[in-house]
Structure formats: structure tokens, C-alpha cells
Amino acid sequence: MEIAGVKITRRLLLMGVSIGAGSLAGAAVALPLVGFFLGPIYRKFPPVWRTVGPLDKFKIGATVQVDFLTSGGLPWDGPAQRVGAWLRRNNQDNFTVYSSKCTHLGCPVRWIPSAELFMCPCHGGVYFKDGDVAAGPPPQPLQQFPVRVENGQVEVQWRPEQVQYVELRSPCNGCGKAREEV
């Protein structure tokens, strides 16, 4: 027998059967393995409201750390489920909750009350009290979590922080500027 000009011998047929059967069996195992490994990447967690304390716990004008849990945790998550964020009470009913992750590379920013600045310990990023970039490499302001007051309790909505795609900036934007030094 010939297929496309190639004579199919018994030996060639056996080779084809062996390789074909092996490939099918391999794919039958490999596909579920890869799927299982990549599965968590596609898993999405719904936003969830978390109570962080009663209204009167927070002073107007003060920024304090609040802790809460993510949603959809696994039984063995342990501390990995915890989130630390910075809550600022702007006035009687208005709050802002800032993510603690520096928008540069995700290090934990800390609030310096006396200086009214958020500072990053890793690469020197600094933010103003409203989350805007004050200095250093961060490309964007601090992210915020939605916040509300329900039955006298302040609630923060945990949602996966957006993985920010940082728009590539022109490498020559700012070229030629004099180095700023005191």
C-alpha cells in the first residue's frame, strides 16, 4: 500500500502505531496535568465586604492600619489570607482605604504620621497622604479599596488588587533635564 507516494511497509506501520499510541496516551495524561497546574490561574474570587471596626474607632484626619481577610480562602491559607491596608478618615462619613502595596514593585508602604507621608522601604517610593506619588519610582498613586459604613461599622471591600499594567514610557521623556540636587 502507498500513501502520498510513500510505501507503507509492515515496519513503518508498526512504528506509526507505536508513536501514535504513545502520543495519544501521553497527551491524555499531559493535558489534565497542565490543566491542573494552570487551573488556579483562572480562578476568580468575588469581592467581599469585611468589617474593620466601629465608626468611632477611627479619628477624623487620622490614618491607621486596618487588617482584614481576602475571600475564597483555602483551609491551609493561614496568614496568607490576611491583608493590611491604610485607612484614612477624611471627615464624619468619608473614608479612604489605601492598598499597602507600593505601585512600583509591591513592597509594603508604611505610614509616617508625623511626616504625613507613605514611604516604601525597598526602593524609596514616597506618597502623599492622599495616595498621590510624592517622590521616587512609583509610576501610579496607591490603589484604593472601596469602603462604606454599615450599621455603625466601617467595612472595606476586598477585591483582588488590579495587576497594573504600567504603560511603557518613552525612554527619552525627560532626557536632557539637569539632575536635581540640593
Partner 1 sequence: MKALLQLVGWFEDRTGLIAKIKPLMEHPVPKESKWAYVFGSATLFSFILQIATGVILATMYVPSTDSAFQSLSHIQNAAFLGRLIRGLHYFGASAMFLFIGIHMLRVFLYAAYKYPREVNWLSGVALLILTLAMGFTGQLMRWDQDAVWSVNIAAKQAARLPLLGHWMSRFVYGGDHLSGITLTRFFDLHVFLIPGAMMALIGLHLYLVLYNGISEPPKAGAPVNPKTYKRQYKELLDKEGVPFWPDAAWRDALFGSLVIAACVALAATVGAPKLVPPADPSVLQANPRPDWYLMWYFAVLALSPHQLESYIMFLAPLVIFGSMLALPFLFNQGERSPKRRPWAIAWVVIVALGVLGLWREGVKAPWSPRFQSPPLPNSLPASASSGAMHGQVLFHDKGCEYCHMVNGLGGLRGPDLSNVGNRITKQDMVIRILNGGRNMPAFGGILQPDEVTDLVDYLTTRRLRPGPNLSQIR
Is 126 one of the binding residues for partner 1 (CB under 8 A)?
yes
Q: Which of 18, 25, 57, 116 binds partner 1 (CB under 8 A)?
A: 116
Start-end of H helices in 44-105: none
Nearer to partner 1, 5 or 171 (CB): 171
- The pattern of x and - marking residues 40 through 79 that bind partner 1 according to CB under 8 A reads xxxxxx-------------------x-x--x--xxxxxxx
Residue type, 91: N
Cβ atoms of residues 9 and 3 within 8 Å: no
152 binds partner 1 (CB under 8 A): no
CA distance 81 to 112: 25
Least distance CB 112 / partner 1 (angstroms): 5
Name the grid cell of 114.
508625623
Of 79, 77, 59, nearest to 67 by C-alpha is 79
Task: Compute CA distances 106 → 25, 66, 72, 168, 175, whole Å.
Answer: 43, 18, 22, 18, 27
Cβ 10 to partner 1 shortest distance, Å: 32
* Number of residues in contact with partner 1 under rule CB under 8 A: 65
Which residues bind to partner 1, rule: CB under 8 A?
37-38, 40-45, 65, 67, 70, 73-84, 100-101, 104-110, 112, 114-117, 119, 121-124, 126, 128, 134-137, 139, 160-161, 163-166, 168-174, 180-182
